Amino acid sequence: MTKVTAPDSTTITVGTGADSREIAIIHRPATTRPDKPALVWLGGYRSDMTGTKAIALDALAESHGVACIRFDYSGHGASGGEFRDGTISRWLEESVAVLDALTPEKVILVGSSMGGWIALRLVQELKKRGSGPSVEGMVLIAPAPDFTAELIEPHLTDKERQSLQERGYFEEFSEYSPEPNIYTRDLMEDGKRNSVMTGIIETGCPVHILQGMADPDVPYQHALKLVEFLPADDVVLTLIRDGDHRLSRPQDLEKMEAAVAGLILDDQILG
């Protein structure tokens, strides 16, 4: 009988003084295949590490005997900090800190929606630092890089622009929560500083994108545009004709699991 192991829960502190926040982490150590990359879950805007896709990724890691790292950004889920203080730079800093704390040698980044943006920025940041784990592959699910400038700003109403200017934020109805989405001026301005779709993105690893064609939040044309900025990489784009933004149906999860498993088992790439 295969031994079932429970993942470890821990927290780390990121930032100092008034800027410090506790980041909650769930880490499943590798069992039978410690030589393989750890799977790293990067969630979306206002999602957390206990969502359907994150749980499915953890189960996949367990079945393959590899490590899995999940965590909540500040202002999300079990982590501390205020959601309204969140920016791409801040959540990227926390992502780097989690990897620094757990020190995996190799990783496969699995980013959903905004997490796809964080994943692309994380690759850039690790290359810039010249330290940290080697990114051996990426699976991006309905990726939303540059969503503040590309998907939100062009469609702002006069009322929303006025609210950003006068109040520093605006609210938007959410289909996924009774609470409205809140977009701050800091998030919008910081998004421009973290733009990735401005030139060639060199990840240095295979990239598999899963995108629903019935996604009301991130149009599939955005994924097509992203592919254009990845000319140097081995990119696979899977379009799911009736897929929505969440891509959490059983058939969607199977596609995610197959994409990740393909990277885990590709010995030519991963050694």
Identify whether 215 is part of a domain: yes
The pLDDT value recorded for residue 4 is 60
Q: What is the pLDDT of residue 5?
A: 72
Q: Is residue 57 part of a domain?
A: yes
- The CATH number linked to 111 is 3.40.50.1820
Spell out the SS3 assignment of 135-190.
EEEEEEECCCCCHHHHHHHHHCCHHHHHHHHHHCEEEECCCCCCCCEEEEHHHHHH
Residue 58 to residue 43: CA distance in whole angstroms: 13
Beta strands in the chain (DSSP E): 8-14, 21-28, 38-42, 68-71, 106-112, 134-141, 169-172, 181-184, 207-212, 235-240
pTM of the complete model = 0.94
**Residue 179: what pLDDT?**
83
For residue 37, tell me if it sits in a domain: yes
With a CB cutoff of 8 Å and minimum separation 6, the contacts of 193 are 88, 89
Q: What pLDDT shows up at residue 271?
A: 37
Domain that holds residue 92: 8-146+204-266
Can you give the pLDDT at residue 2? 47
**Total of domains in the chain:** 1
**Consecutive 10-residue averages of pLDDT for the chain (271 residues):** 73 96 98 96 96 97 97 97 96 98 98 98 96 96 98 95 95 83 95 97 97 97 98 95 97 98 69 37
Question: Is residue 255, in this structure, part of any structural domain at all?
Answer: yes
Residue 109 lies in a domain: yes
Is the residue at 92 inside a domain?
Answer: yes
pLDDT on residue 269: 39
Q: What is the pLDDT of residue 59?
A: 97
Distance in angstroms (rounded) separating the CA atoms of residues 118 and 124: 10
pLDDT at 3: 54
Establish if 135 belongs to a structural domain.
yes
Domain presence at residue 74: yes
